[in-house]
Amino acid sequence: MEVLLIAIPFAWLGMLGAISFLEAPLKFRAPNITRELALGIGKLVFRALNRVELVLAAVMLICMIATRLSTRNIQLLFGATAAILIVQTVWLLPSLSARATAVIAGEEVPNSRLHLVFVVCETVKILLLAVVGVMLLSEFKV
C-alpha cells in the first residue's frame, strides 16, 4: 500500500505534464489540423484526464487512510491538490468545454482568462504533487 501511495503522485504528475504541457499545445501546431478539430480532441483528452485524476485522487486518499498516514503537511498538500481538482471538475473544465463547443459550432466567443486559470491550476497541481511525492518518499524511508 505504501508503494502505491508513493507512486500515485509521480504518475499523476507525469500525466499532467505530458498532456497539459506537451500534447495540448502541440496538437494546435500539427500540420493540417483545424482549430475546431484540435478543440474537439482537447475536449476528449481533458475529460479523460480529469476522470483518471479523480480515480487517482480517490485511490491516494484510500491509501493514506489505509496506511494511517498522520503527517499533517502531506495531508494538507494533498487536500490542496484535491481542492484544485474539484474546482477544475465542477467549474473550470465545464466552462472551457462550453467555450470549445461554441468555437467548434462557429460561434464567436469573447476573450476569457479561463485558459490562463487552467494553466495556473495545472502548474500548482504539478508542484504540489512533486512535493507530496518527495515527502512520502521520506515519510516511508524509501
- Give the model confidence (pLDDT) of 37-92 as tens digits: 999 999 999 999 999 999 999 999 999 999 999 899 999 999 999 999 999 999 99
Number of domains in the chain: 1
Global confidence as pTM = 0.95
Q: Is it the case that residue 21 has pLDDT exceeding 90?
A: yes
The C-alpha atoms of residue 57 and residue 9 are separated, in whole angstroms, by: 9
Please provide the size of the chain in residues: 142
CA distances from 110 to 41, 87, 115, 135 (A): 21, 22, 13, 42
**Could you list the residue range(s) of the whole structural domain that residue 95 is in?**
2-139
- Residue 68's Cβ-count burial label (10 Å; 0-12, 13-18, 19+) is exposed
